[in-house]
Structure 1
């Protein structure tokens, strides 16, 4: 199942971040892991399709994802809309659901996992309801290398890891 993966779709909060939001008077800030970003860049350079589907509303999500090479960033997506957005993305890039790894961490991600035969994964600190439904649970928690772990897992299985340096 890992060898057929051609694309990755990520949630943001709890996957790229540790699910902590810092709220200031002007904005909401998140902390991203640089190693996750590096793995994303390697996946992009290797020809994988990458996207983010998030309920987060801040443009800073788009800015960070674009900076590391993810151009398909869907923010402010309600839980019920996630499957529709996923289908639009799959149609846009020409992927079948079974060619996609999706990583999410919380109950809003379950609807997407159930709606598509994606390779569902979650970080080590995901909620138990998600852990019960996924094929792979990372050893790393969200925001601490979970993104890198799934990318590295797929790319190593396909003998693509470290090939684009």
Structure 2
């Protein structure tokens, strides 16, 4: 039996589930002298997430991290389903899917490291950034050409929305 191309999965995606560190960020943590941990996120990933939400897609973030600054940034984009301090991501995914009546085959999950492995084995379209660890690359049906925190989320969201003809519609009509 021939393996499906990842593009064949894109038309069935209704839900994006994302990790934070190494996916929405490049994995770098800057420490201030008072112990605050700072991260950077790519504005193009933010635009894509907001576009997906506005187009009616489900979007959830599940992270082992606990930085409330991450929650504030994501809330500002309209993301309300945010699970921080998640150490067993399957529990959070199951809770989110049950609450929103979502099927596994309709979920695109993007992760980059070992804590993402169990949940990525369950979803319809496991994906990762270019700089993910080898174990995650091995189970991903799509590996972005972009690194974590450098537009990989924009890459996968844009591909799904374009295949489903929901990527920002007619630009000329919006900007005339």
Deviation at 1:27, TM superposition (A): 1.3
* Cα deviation digits, residues 96-140 of structure 1 (max 9, x gap): 0110100000011001112x1331000011011100100000011
In 2, Cα distance between equivalents of 1:61 and 1:152: 22
Given the two structures, how large is their TM-score scaled by the length of structure 1? 0.95
Alignment-derived partner of residue 21 in structure 1: 29
Alignment-derived partner of residue 53 in structure 2: 44
SS at match of 2:82: strand
In 1, Cα distance between equivalents of 2:123 and 2:129: 19
Alignment-derived partner of residue 118 in structure 2: 111
Counting only pairs closer than 5 Å after superposition, residues 56-95 of structure 1 correspond to structure 2 as: 56-78=65-87, 81-95=88-102
Alignment-derived partner of residue 162 in structure 1: 168
Alignment-derived partner of residue 126 in structure 2: 120
SS at match of 2:11: helix
Deviation at 1:21, TM superposition (A): 0.5
In 2, Cα distance between equivalents of 1:147 and 1:119: 14
Gap runs ≥5 in structure 1: none
SS at match of 2:145: coil
Deviation at 1:93, TM superposition (A): 1.1
In 2, Cα distance between equivalents of 1:126 and 1:19: 10
Alignment-derived partner of residue 96 in structure 1: 103
SS at match of 1:121: strand
In 2, Cα distance between equivalents of 1:34 and 1:8: 17
Deviation at 1:163, TM superposition (A): 2.1
In 1, Cα distance between equivalents of 2:11 and 2:145: 20
Q: Give the RMSD, CA atoms, in angstroms.
A: 1.1
Gap runs ≥5 in structure 2: 1-8
Q: Larger Cα Rg: Structure 1 or Structure 2?
A: 2
Alignment-derived partner of residue 150 in structure 1: 156
